[in-house]
Amino acid sequence: MGVKLHVDLETLLIIQGPGQRSAVASLRFKRGDSARLQVVFLENGVTPATIGDPGTLEIQIGIKPRNQFDRSYLAHSADWSMPSEGDDTPAYGCSISFNTLQLNSALNIGSPTAEELPEVTLMGEITWREGAGEPTSTRTFLVVVENDVNRGDEGVPTDGDPPYPAPQALALASQVVARSDEGYEVTLRNTLKSFDANTATIDDLTDALATLIDTLKAKEVL
């Protein structure tokens, strides 16, 4: 999964893109995945820029429970790639894993007493520092991590027997009957009374549908 982020070096917000200086509401990721981030730093929210000497520059991204600043990271990366010298659109990249025990705990995965959460809202920050200089950080941004659906141990669903027809088909037919006269309703009700969509054979279905079609034609519905 690749995610491109734009940081306005004037406001230190993560913004929509060059010249679009409104802040991104939140970043969304999936639990269990690894995300490849590409971060572009923009002068005045427009022009891509470098943020320091690649030889001494340190960058990290950290994600923690929202408003719990003294807690350990749920996801973190300090291994960043640097742009090439002379690159017209310099960008910095890293991979961050959302497959961590701390994140599992935040989603109640494996808990014997609590239901798993569908998602969790966290807080994130990108910080950089050149050599022994003072660090600079983005504004705190929201990170939403969704619980994963596919775990790999679910198995294959079992087909129903018979796979056709669906019981909803009979419900639809009964709705059509409700708008007709008493004799029409009695005819179709008697046809379907002994028809069980869960156990009927194809021959049973064919007979029932034939009767239904005949009734609809007689009432000039078809």
CATH number, domain containing residue 76: 2.60.40
210 domain residue, yes or no = yes
Q: Looking at 117, 146, 175, which one is the last position of a domain?
A: 146
142 and 66 in one domain?
yes
Q: What is residue 104's predicted lDDT score, i.e. its pLDDT?
A: 97
Give tens-digit pLDDT for 11-58.
999 999 999 999 999 999 999 999 999 999 999 999 999 999 999 999
Q: How does residue 209 score in pLDDT terms, banded at 50, 70 and 90? A: confident
Highest mean pLDDT among 81-85, 163-167, 200-204: 81-85
116 and 64 in one domain?
yes
Could you give the angle at the alpha carbon of 126 between the alpha carbons of 65 and 144, nearest 5°?
40
105 domain residue, yes or no = yes
The beta strands (E) that lie in 53-187 are given as: 57-65, 75-77, 80-81, 92-97, 119-130, 136-137, 141-146
160 domain residue, yes or no = no
Structural domain boundaries, residue 95: 2-146
Q: What is residue 173's predicted lDDT score, i.e. its pLDDT?
A: 52
Q: What is residue 188's predicted lDDT score, i.e. its pLDDT?
A: 54
120 and 50 in one domain?
yes
Q: At what angle do helices 182-193 and 167-177 cross, to 10 degrees?
A: 160
157 domain residue, yes or no = no
179 and 129 in one domain?
no
Q: How high does pLDDT run on average in the chain?
A: 86
State pTM to two decimals. 0.71
187 and 94 in one domain?
no
How many distinct structural domains can be found in the chain? 2
73 domain residue, yes or no = yes
194 domain residue, yes or no = yes
133 domain residue, yes or no = yes
